[in-house]
Chain A
Amino acid sequence: MTHDIVDQIAGVTPELDALRRRRPVTREQLQASFDALFRPVSESHASQAERELIAAFATRLAGSSDATGTFYADRALAADASRAAIVLAEASDAAVEGPFGAYTERGLQGESTEGERYAPSDAATEALGDRLAAALAHTHLLVFRPREASAADISRLLDAGWSADGVITLSQLVSFLAFQQRVITGLRVLAAAGLASTAQTDSEEEAA
């Protein structure tokens, strides 16, 4: 049986566990998604270290106290300490508020909003390499202003050495993390607000 990452990060309680087990397929396939991205069949289009570093950057953008961000930061530091330190510093500097961005659709341009866009510094690009630097710029785009993403952004990834298969894996990675992080945030808030006990155990039994 696979160790469940959402339970771990959310700090599962018996009540939250009982609630999650009412949706067994969601619980199982959320974990399967993590496994597909972080225990991949092949690393040929995106290496394990790239996945860990991009995940640490993507999730840290939600703020330094975010539990999911801390989980991926620790993994990245274990995988590649020197590049992880740079990636985490870049994320802290680049954390803004989203979603924002300009609409392509003419009827929505009155709703376009501005915010701070991110490009890695020359020093960061030098230290991380072109591939990872391009991936971080793309990650920031997807996290904060997905409505601005265009074919030109995909071109930049290809120019930096990402294959078409690698672009899909990178896009899935960042987008999956947006999902996982929100499930964890949502369930933590729900549990903190107090869940009705659906489990057979009562508080006396737990205290014993």
Chain B
Amino acid sequence: MTADQSVLTHDAPHPHAFTRGEVGWLPHLAPLPEEELTERHYDGLVDAARAKNDYFRLLARDPEILKARTLVDKDIFYNVADGLPRAERELAATAASRRNGCVFCASVHSRFAAHHGKRVEDVDRLLDEGVEADLGERWNAVVAASVALTDTPSAFGEAEIARLRAAGLDDLEIADVIHGTAFFNWANRLMLSIGRPVAPA
């Protein structure tokens, strides 16, 4: 077996628990070497700067799905001209990551939720206490919807929709909760399986 086809192991410490700290990430397989990237790989990476990142250079082994993944990710989270505020999209992402157990994803997106929502204590409560934490009814409704849609088989039903509507969300905002949650069920599985988290320095 060549080096390209063997598993990488690392001694770096695991995180202790969920945290807003800067959790690192190490790949289980060799990312493509930067000097071997072709135009097809850069097209998949979308932003050339992502060639510096191990996770994206590992995903560049299949450039076409990486490209579509990246573009759908950016639209779901950054297209905020209308619909759900960024903070609550990040909250849905954090809740899905908390439920699935992705400490890395939860660290990144809890920082975004805390920053955009200016609600650091509520975000920390979600990380520390888990998805049952009381964050006030509107955030509780978003977290509950994210958890129900994350579970297999799905527990997402009319009760979750009714609770989101009662909290003031319209159809587009509810669709944004659905997409943000669903996307992190994609991201969590990749981050958890093709590499592992590293404790903040």
- Which residues of A line the B interface, CB within 8 A? 19-20, 22-23, 25-26, 29-30, 32-33, 35-37, 40-41, 45, 61-63, 66, 95, 97-99, 101, 103-108, 111, 141-144, 146-147, 149-155, 158, 163-165, 167-169, 171-172, 174-176, 178-180, 182-183, 185-187, 189-190, 192-193, 195-196, 198
Contact = CB atoms under 8 A, between A and B. Distances in A.
Contacts of B102: 146-147
Given A23-B179, A146-B193, A151-B7, 18 more contacts: A29-B75, A32-B72, A62-B153, A99-B100, A99-B101, A104-B196, A105-B16, A106-B17, A108-B103, A144-B152, A151-B28, A154-B28, A163-B5, A164-B61, A165-B61, A168-B29, A171-B190, A186-B179
Contacts, number: 214
Given A23-B79, A172-B65, A99 B16 contact: no
Contacts of B62: 36, 45, 165, 168-169, 172
Q: Name the prevailing secondary structure of the A interface residues.
A: helix
B156 A33 contact: no
Interface in B177-201: 177-179, 181-183, 185-190, 192-194, 196
A178 B156 CA distance: 14
B149 interface: yes
A168 B61 contact: yes
Interface residues of B, number: 72
Contact of A37 (B6, B65, B157, B177): B65
B5 A190 contact: no
Interface stretch (B112-120, B134-142, B166-174): B166-174
Q: Name the prevailing secondary structure of the B interface residues.
A: helix
14 contacts: A19-B175, A23-B76, A26-B72, A32-B68, A32-B72, A62-B152, A98-B151, A143-B152, A152-B7, A169-B61, A172-B62, A172-B66, A190-B178, A196-B171
